[in-house]
Structure 1
Amino acid sequence: MPAKSKAQQKAAGAALSAKRGDTPKSKLQGASKQMAASMTEKQLEDLAKGSAKGKPEHIG
């Protein structure tokens, strides 16, 4: 399931980084913190991959 917005894609990337141990989990905020706690590494990979081109910054 690809991300629907750039913000969602960035949050998934940050959560994935923390899940892999590249970034401390204490640095996560908001959606990325929730994603890291509730999603598997595979789910985060699917959400973070792909091009951000043509996606809106945020979904209202």
Structure 2
Amino acid sequence: MPARSKAQQKAAGAALSAKRGETAVGDLEEPAKSMYDSMSERELEDMAGTSRKDKPDHVDD
């Protein structure tokens, strides 16, 4: 699942870093913390690997 915005891609990267033990989970902010809890490492890799080119900064649902 590709990221829909730059903010979502950045949060996925932070959550992935915590999944891999490179960052403390307590240092995560929302929504990265909820991504960490609800997504697998593979899902986070897919989302974090999305290109930021032509993505909006934020997406309102």
TM-score by length of 1: 0.96
Note the aligned Cα RMSD (angstroms).
0.6
Mind listing any 5+ residue stretches in structure 1 that lack a counterpart?
none
Identity of aligned residues (%): 60
Distance 1:27 1:19 in 2: 12
TM-score by length of 2: 0.95
One-letter code aligned to 1:49: G
Where 1:29 maps in the other structure, the secondary structure is coil
Q: Count how many residue pairs are aligned between Structure 1 and Structure 2.
A: 60
Mind listing any 5+ residue stretches in structure 2 that lack a counterpart?
none
The 5-angstrom pairing of residues 8-19 of structure 1 reads 8-19=8-19
One-letter code aligned to 1:48: A
The 5-angstrom pairing of residues 1-60 of structure 1 reads 1-60=1-60
One-letter code aligned to 1:39: M
